[in-house]
Amino acid sequence: MNMQEIDTNLKPSAVLVILSSLILLCTACLVFDLPLSWWVRSVILGLVLVYGGNIFWHTMLLRGKNAILKIALTTDGWEIHDQTTIYPAELGGESTVTTLLCVLRFKVLGENRKRSVIIFRDAIEPEIYRRFVAILRMTKILPSQ
């Protein structure tokens, strides 16, 4: 693998898990503070917890069927991998790269859709993240026109 190639598996980010848990906890507190009867608040709280738990399980822990589990930059271009498929993709110009996180927007080639990936610094190995950020900053992020 040369300097311009990256092949990394993503893992759940502890930062994202903590932030998501705090948001779910704050939402539960707001539901308890609503001026409604206890049984209505209980039903709303149950719905919030079930929905939040579903999002947490499938998205934050990367267990959903559409969760992106791997990103690769090869000599042929970008590839994003979910549980069953490898998608050749083009990195979009609306992507953002910082030292704390990367928000990447990919246009899946051959399809009329985009896929977004948020990569926190702790979701991949530190050395790979540094290389990843450096390569993204050096390469032209805007799609070819």
What sign for the dihedral angle of Cα 89, 91, 95, 100? positive
Q: What Å distances lie between residue 54 and 4, 60, 69, 126, CA to CA?
A: 37, 10, 18, 29
Tokens 């390469």 -> residue: 139
Instruction: State residue 71's pLDDT score.
Output: 92
Instruction: State residue 145's pLDDT score.
Output: 35
Q: pTM, whole model, 2 decimals?
A: 0.79
Rg (CA), the chain: 19
Q: In the predicted model, what is the mean pLDDT of residues 14-40?
A: 93
Q: What Å distances lie between residue 44 and 39, 41, 58, CA to CA?
A: 9, 5, 21
Q: In the predicted model, what is the mean pLDDT of residues 1-8?
A: 69
Instruction: State residue 66's pLDDT score.
Output: 87
Instruction: State residue 123's pLDDT score.
Output: 93
Q: In the predicted model, what is the mean pLDDT of residues 37-56?
A: 94
Q: What Å distances lie between residue 22 and 5, 33, 96, 99, CA to CA?
A: 36, 17, 24, 23
- Which stretches of 1-145 are DSSP H helices? 14-32, 38-55, 126-138
How many percent of the chain have pLDDT more than 90?
56
Instruction: State residue 143's pLDDT score.
Output: 40
Q: Is the pLDDT of residue 1 over 50?
A: no
Instruction: State residue 140's pLDDT score.
Output: 56
Q: What is the mean pLDDT of the chain?
A: 87
Would you say 88 and 79 are in contact if contact means Cβ atoms under 8 Å apart?
yes
Residue boundaries of the structural domains of the chain:
6-11+67-138, 14-60
Which tens digit of pLDDT belongs to each residue from 47-106?
999 999 999 998 889 998 889 999 998 888 899 999 899 999 998 888 888 888 999 999
